[in-house]
Amino acid sequence: MENVSLNRSNEDPATKKVAYIIYVLYLCSLMVPVLPIVAVIFAYIFENDAKDILQSHYQYFIRSFWIGMLYFSIAGLSIMIVIGIILIPLCVIWWIIRLAKGLKSLLRNEPVQHPKTWLF
């Protein structure tokens, strides 16, 4: 029987490791709020090195940062009218689900499905 590799892409292993690191930084950002800035800087730096499958992940990283900034800013500003108390936990749930979906795809060596979505 022939040994079949599960790696279906010709990705640079270093670029893939950076993708894992970015997901971890984003997830840790729930405890250290400055980490998304570090993560998106890494995403912008390594975006051009990504090929095939990882291109969708890097696009997803960058869009997650900017969409998250928008959602969390709106939720933070709306605390003054009390609705932000509901919106901030919803933003956190959105963030966790979005990152879990992307990490699951990366672990399976698959591209992110619909990387341009505003939801999940």
To the nearest whole percent, how much of the chain has pLDDT over 70?
91
Q: Is residue 119 assigned to a domain?
A: no
Q: Is residue 8 assigned to a domain?
A: no
What's the CA gap between 83 and 92, in Å, rounded? 15
Which pLDDT band holds residue 44 (cuts at 50, 70, 90)? very high
Which pLDDT band holds residue 2 (cuts at 50, 70, 90)? very low
Average pLDDT over residues 44-67: 91
Give the pLDDT of residue 9.
54
Average pLDDT over residues 65-94: 93
Q: Is the pLDDT of residue 55 over 60?
A: yes
With b meaning 16 or more CB within 10 Å and e meaning fewer, what string describes 71-86? bbeebeeeeeeeebee
What's the CA gap between 5 and 18, in Å, rounded? 21
Give the pLDDT of residue 117.
83
Write out the residue range of the structural domain in which residue 63 sits: 13-107
Domain count for the chain: 1
Q: Is residue 112 assigned to a domain?
A: no
Q: Which amino acid is at 42?
A: F
Average pLDDT over residues 40-57: 90
Q: Is the pLDDT of residue 24 over 90?
A: yes
Q: Is residue 35 assigned to a domain?
A: yes
Q: Is residue 5 assigned to a domain?
A: no
